[in-house]
Structure formats: structure tokens, C-alpha cells
Structure 1
Amino acid sequence: MKKVLSILLVMVLMMGLLSGCANKPATETEQPGGTKIGLVVSTLNNPFFVTLKEGAEAKAKELGAELIVLDSQNDPAKELANLEDLITKKVSVILVNPTDSDAVGSAIKLANDAKIPVITLDRGANAGEVVTHIASDNVAGGKMAGEFIIEKLGGAGKAVELEGIAGTSAARDRGQGFNDAIKGSSIEVVAKQTADFDRTKGLTVMENILQAQPEINAVFAHNDEMALGALKAIEASGRDILVVGFDATDDAVKSVEEGKLAATVAQQPDQIGALGVEMADKVLKGETVDTFIPVDLKLVTK
């Protein structure tokens, strides 16, 4: 009898163990994992790139992807370290908004060696292999600004050009478009200086130019931050000078509506960020994407 009871007890225990295994929840490795995408931004101290980041974050959430955002603080060395960090984290795709179109090449080559696809946003890269570049047509935007100034000045006058960070494709292309536009007119560029896409530097550089140039009719700044800095210097001087910016940040659009800034070329940074994540998703699915994906521009005036 004892032997029978022992056998029955063993059978009950075995049935309990089997039941426990059947009801055991799936482990983490058995759960489907989301896509991991890295985003390296040139600086988050600029409203334009903050909006770009937010657009990327919204699209990543929509697609169920994990987005790791790193700030290069306008430092190519920090940018290189950021890409190395993402490679170590084994991200599936890297989106990069370069601090410098030349310097970023070394960082991109590291990702190429690690077989991680790279997509550039807003600013291009002069070296390394990139799957696609997503940006506004900066040459067309610069031309748009130049044509507006020609129209407002009646085809003749003296202009100042505030340039962005030397070496960036955005500064080069916006400057090219502007100078191509005014080439056939009687607009003379009396001063051309770098202010690094920065509002404070735009203010300081413009103050110096105002002291050196007795006659200025218009200013074209490669971005709104410099335009707003220049505008502050001009207002303090009491002179009447037309100022055109680029990016259509909230502060710039408000200034246009108030009749202070004459115009700004509107980009869609949120769309650039969103398209970056969308293209990353397509690349990972094996789909073909265009080597350049343009984002529409328009001129914002009062």
C-alpha cells in the first residue's frame, strides 16, 4: 500500500511540474525586439535641430523603434566619439547631422567598417558611404533669399552676408544660391563674415560690420539665429536695414509677423527628422531609397 501511495505522489509531482512549464511566460529573448536607431545631432543648442530631433522621435515612436539621440555640441571630436558609442551599442542604422561636412567623413567610415548604414540629415558629408541624404535644397533657398532682396532693393544696393560654420554644406550651398541670385544685379556684397550659425556671434559680427560700413541696405544670414543677432545690433544702431534669415524658427517667424525681420526661408526640420527615421526603417527592410531626398522650402514674409 505504501508503495502504491509513493508512486501516486511521484505522478502528482510530475504533473505539477509539467503544468508549470506549460504556463511559464516567454523570456526576454523570446520576445520580439524593436529596431535600434542612432541619431547624432550637431547641436541641441539651436531650435532648428531640437525640432529635427522631435520629428525623429515622433516617427520612431510611431514605428515602434528605439531612438538613441546624442548631441555633438558643434564639436567634430565629440561627434566622432558619439558615432563610436553608437557602434558599440550595435545600433541598426545611424542618422547623423554633421558638425562639419569634411570632418564627419572619418566617423562615417567607422560605421561603414562596422557595416552600419548611415543617413545624413540637413548637412551632407564629403567622405564615407552614405545611403541617402535628406535635406532642403539649400542652394534654392539661398537663391530665394537673394531674389527677395533684389526685389525689395529694386535691383541695386549694398548687402552683407553672414555665413554659417565654415565647412558645412548648408553654409556653402546657401551662400552659393544667394550669390548666384545677385550676380546679374547691381547688389554689391560689402562684407562677408562667419558667425557660426550663432545668435550671439551674429550680434557681435554685425556690430563690427556696422562700424566699418557706413552704407548697408540688406543682410542675408545663413540661418535665423544669426539673423536675429544681426537684427538686434541693427536696432541698437538706429539704422534701417533689411534682414533675411533662413530656417523659419519660431522666434524668426514671430519677428517677421512683428515687421522686424523682413523674411526667412522656411525649412521643415521636423520633416527632415521624421524622414530620416522612415528611410532608416526602409533600409532595414531591404527597400531601395533615393540617394537624395529633398524637403520643400518656402519664403515666409509678413
Structure 2
Amino acid sequence: MKLMKRLYIILIVLLSSMLLLLDSCTQKKMVIGVSQCCSGVWREKVNNEIRLAQYQYKNVDLLFTTAENDGQRQARQIDSMIARKVDLIVVAPDNVNDVTPAIERAYRAHIPVILFDRKVKTTHYTASIGGDNVEAGREVARFLASKLDGKGTVVEITGLKDASPVIERHRGFHEVMKNYPGIKVVTLESNWKMERAQELLKQYLDKGGHADGVFGHSDLGAIGAFLEAERRGIDKQILIVGIDGLPGEWEGVDRVKRGQFAASYVYPTQGEKIMGLAMNILQGKPYKKNNVMKSFLATQENCDAIALQYQDLEAKMKNLDQISDSLDSYSEVSRIQKWMIIVAIVIVLVLLFVIYYIYKVYRKKLQKQKAVARGFIENKEGWAAELNHLDESDRYFMDRFKKKILENMGNADMKMDDLGAQMQLSKVQLYRKVKAMTGKTPAELLKEMRLQRAYTLLQQTDKTISEVSAEVGFALPGYFSSCFKKQFGVLPTDFRNEQASKKK
């Protein structure tokens, strides 16, 4: 019983440990989908910042897609996220027409939606975050108007016309330019691509157009304009301003520093704020519905300081990226180790079950053997009931074996070889067969049966110790007394005296 209690305790401990490990290995991860309207350095910077911010939170997976300026494709990607049942979707919509229905479908499916950088024609979203595009247009207009002293021609090169940043930047730009009647604004509708911006400016200038300044709705548009102006040798005569203000060689801030741009509006990425807003929503914490990130112009006066800040930030991000890679490796190793422990526990549990099963089978077999041996030794009527679990041939054998012992019980010189011969078995065969059915050897059964018979004779007759000893097959009374005491815990003479006192 002690063994069984220990086994139960071990099983409970192992099962508890396995359940805890399984819980840690199989905890449901929240999935945040990030649907970008296009690729590019600015978008990749946002994605990297979101990835790094992810490591502040446990059990969060990110799913990134990009539509490459295809609104219908982006709608399909959002629908795929809905079908996958992601926990939240961050969307930078390609345009207000194609993507709005998909966002509404996500909202109706009770999936929180964060609009990032861009807007759509619906109120069915959870929150929005991004820069102030109207203010960006205003800031660029004020800068160019100041640098041109309120006179000249400015060429505005937009992005895709249905994109909300284009609509808002255009509105903010013209809102300020209305105050400067001496400045003429020419708007060229582009598609965010550098090559298209260069081609549009080329066509405009080839037709006799003039430009004192250029406002590119993105730095790529501004670069396209610079390349065309440089090709014509008029790049020093035109003030070029873009929007993005990205770090890195030949990006917006670097071109301001090199004198190719007059300025670049630093449009904020701040992926960590997007991630923070997403987690506040998912964790049921307070959050603002509309979140505006402020920014500024990078100019010749501040571009060195901005570049140093970017370099410092880039170095820190690289360190964080290395740390995050190490954490990923550690987490993977930890996860594998946990599963290995679980597998080991399962194996141990299986082994314990096998041991328990074998123990139960052995114990049941032992109980049956004891029952057969007890009935055999005590020689009571009806003892054959103890043999019911045996097949017919084994019952017949045990019945014959008992009769042979009873016939030869008084023969002190009887040997197992002789008994086996009478049973038509060798000594080894007899030993194995009797041991298998009773758990005792033939010699042990014979001795215990003799002692049991002696017990009855001492209890029910007046025969002397020597007479009883001889009748049950013990040649030496002293050896009989020793065996009797070992079996019943009392010498035969003391047992006889106890029985006599009881009769009185």
C-alpha cells in the first residue's frame, strides 16, 4: 500500500507539472495584422519599430502584408486577416474607396481596427494614429512662401490622388498659399514613384513651364524632381521640399544636408506608439480614438542635429534588434526544452502506468496463488472453489497432487522426485507447475500441509507430540517442534497446554 501511495503522489506531481508546462507552451498568442499600402524605406522603418516594440509584450505575433499601391489587393489581404480571425488590424489604407468596405467588414466582425497614417470614408474603426497631413502641407507652404518672398511658381507633385495623405497635404498646402497671390501653384498628379515624378516635371518644363520651387508629397517625388533639375543644370535655382525626412544615406535628411533639398518634412513613424495603442485596446486599457503625432521640417539649420539623433537611434535599434534576436533564440530553446520535459514526463507517466498495471496483475495473481495454497494446505471441504480461475487440466492436476500428498503425508522419507514420478512429471516440471499455481514450491506446500495437519491433531486428539510428529511425516520430534513454532508462533507442547486449559 505504501508503494501505491507513493505512486499516486508521483503521478499527481508529474501531471501537475505537465499541465503547467503545457499551459506555458500552449498559451494563446494574440495576432496583430499590419496591412501596409505599399513598401519602401519609410514603411519598413515603421514595421521595424513595431517589431521591436513587440518584445515589450508576451504572447504577441505580428502578421505583415503590403498591397504595393493596389487598393483592391489590400482589401483582399484584410479579408484574409478577418478569415484568419486575427485579434487586431493596423491599416495604412491605399485609398479611401477600395479599402473602406474591407475595414468596415473587419469592424463588423468585432476585430479592432487602427488606421495608421491615412484615413478612410467611414467611422467604423477603433482608433487612428499618425502625423497631421494637413499641417504638413501648411508647414511646407509657409516655408516655401518665406524662402520665395511671396513670389514665383511652385510645382506640387502629389501621390496617388485618392490617398488621404494626398488629399490632406494638398488641402493644407493650398490653404496657406491662398494668402500669397504672388505665388502660382501648378499641381502635377503623380503616384508616389520617383520615376513618375521626374517624368512629370520633364514634361512640364519641356512645355515651357517654370519652377522656382517644388513640393513633393513624398521624398521620392522630391528626388525625382531634383534628378530632372540636375539633368537640366537648374537644380541650384529651384527650392525642393519633400515629406518623409528619413535617416540614411541619400534619404531626405541627408539630401538636405548635401544641399539637394531645401527642406524635408519629417513625417513621424513611431511604430512603438502604434504597438502601444494596439495593446491598450487588446488589454482593455484606456486609449484615445484619434492620436496625432506632431513633427517638423528638417532644414539646413537643424539637419546635422537630426542626423546625429538618427544615428544614435539607429545604433540603439541595432542593439535592440540583436537583443530581440537573442530573446527569440532563447525563447525557441526554452520552448523546445519545455516540450522535451513534457515528452519526458509523458514517458515517465507511461512507464508508471505500465509498472502499476504489472503490479496490479502480479498482485491479483499472487492473491489467486495464495487462495489456492491456503485451500490446499488447510484441506477444507469445498476447497476446489479456490481453483475456479484455473482451467480444467490445472484443476485436475492440483486435485491429483493433493491426493498424492495426503496419501504420502506420513512417509518421512518421501522425496519430490518420487512425488513427481507418481504424477508422471520430472522434479523440475513439478516444481514449475506447482509454483506457478500456488506461489510455493512442492516442498513448501508439503511441509505447511503437514504442519496444518499436526495443528488439527494437537487440537482434536490426545496423541503425544512424538506421535503427531510421526503421523505427519516428521522423523525428528525436535525438528517438528522448531517448524511448528516458526509456522504458528508457539511450541507444540505450549499449544497443547493452551488447548487443554480452554477445555477446562
1:204 to 196, 199, 202: 199
Change (3 A) 1:27 1:147: same
Alignment-derived partner of residue 263 in structure 2: 263
Q: Is the 8 A contact 1:108 1:128 kept in 2?
A: no
| Structure of higher CA gyration radius | 2
Quick check: which one's strand share is greater? 1
Q: Is the 8 A contact 1:105 1:128 kept in 2?
A: no
Alignment-derived partner of residue 161 in structure 1: 156
2:167 to 167, 172, 187: 172
Alignment-derived partner of residue 298 in structure 1: 296
State the distance in 2 between where 1:17 and 1:28 align. Answer: 18
Q: Is the 8 A contact 1:141 1:174 kept in 2?
A: yes
Change (3 A) 1:63 1:216: same
Q: In the TM superposition, what is the alpha-carbon distance from 1:203 to its structure 2 partner?
A: 1.3
Q: What SS does the aligned partner of 1:74 have?
A: coil
Q: Is the 8 A contact 1:265 1:299 kept in 2?
A: yes
Alignment-derived partner of residue 42 in structure 2: 48
Q: In the TM superposition, what is the alpha-carbon distance from 1:295 to its structure 2 partner?
A: 0.6
Q: How many residues align?
A: 292
State the distance in 2 between where 1:163 and 1:236 align. Answer: 21
Alignment-derived partner of residue 123 in structure 1: 118
Structure 2: stretches of 5+ with no match in the other structure: 301-504
Alignment-derived partner of residue 445 in structure 2: none
Q: What CA RMSD, in Å, does the superposition of the two structures yield over aligned residues?
A: 2.0
Q: Are positions 1:75 and 2:66 aligned together?
A: no
Q: Is the 8 A contact 2:160 2:189 kept in 1?
A: yes
Change (3 A) 1:56 1:23: closer
Q: Is the 8 A contact 1:134 1:293 kept in 2?
A: yes
Q: In the TM superposition, what is the alpha-carbon distance from 1:260 to its structure 2 partner?
A: 0.9
Q: Are positions 1:249 and 2:243 aligned together?
A: no
State the distance in 1 between where 2:14 and 2:282 align. Answer: 38
Change (3 A) 1:50 1:18: closer
Change (3 A) 1:33 1:156: same
State the distance in 1 between where 2:55 and 2:79 align. Answer: 24
Change (3 A) 1:13 1:180: closer
The answer to which structure, 1 or 2, has the higher relative contact order (CA under 8 A, 6+ apart) is 1
State the distance in 2 between where 1:247 and 1:31 align. Answer: 41
State the distance in 2 between where 1:260 and 1:36 align. Answer: 43
Change (3 A) 1:23 1:300: closer
Alignment-derived partner of residue 3 in structure 1: none
Alignment-derived partner of residue 183 in structure 2: 187
- Per-residue CA shift, 1:128-179, capped at 9, x if unaligned? 5111111111111111111111111111001111011111110011111111
AA at the equivalent of 1:282? N
Q: What SS does the aligned partner of 1:63 have?
A: coil
Alignment-derived partner of residue 284 in structure 2: 286
State the distance in 2 between where 1:290 and 1:284 align. Answer: 14
Change (3 A) 1:266 1:11: closer
Structure 1: stretches of 5+ with no match in the other structure: 1-6
Change (3 A) 1:278 1:16: closer
Q: Which 4+ residue blocks in structure 1 deviate beyond 6 angstroms? A: 7-13
Q: Is the 8 A contact 2:31 2:87 kept in 1?
A: yes
AA at the equivalent of 1:187? I
AA at the equivalent of 2:241? V
Q: Is the 8 A contact 1:106 1:128 kept in 2?
A: no
State the distance in 1 between where 2:127 and 2:275 align. Answer: 12
Change (3 A) 1:260 1:15: closer
AA at the equivalent of 1:215? H
Q: Are positions 1:84 and 2:79 aligned together?
A: yes
AA at the equivalent of 1:188? K
Alignment-derived partner of residue 148 in structure 1: 143
State the distance in 1 between where 2:280 and 2:5 align. Answer: 54
State the distance in 2 between where 1:30 and 1:13 align. Answer: 26
Change (3 A) 1:16 1:198: same
Alignment-derived partner of residue 98 in structure 2: 103
Change (3 A) 1:19 1:182: closer
State the distance in 2 between where 1:127 and 1:154 align. Answer: 41
Scaled by the length of structure 2, the TM-score of the pair is: 0.55
Q: In the TM superposition, what is the alpha-carbon distance from 1:19 to its structure 2 partner?
A: 5.3
Change (3 A) 1:238 1:92: same
- Per-residue CA shift, 1:242-298, capped at 9, x if unaligned? 1110110231111100011111111221x1x22222111111222332221111110
1:63 to 51, 57, 65: 57
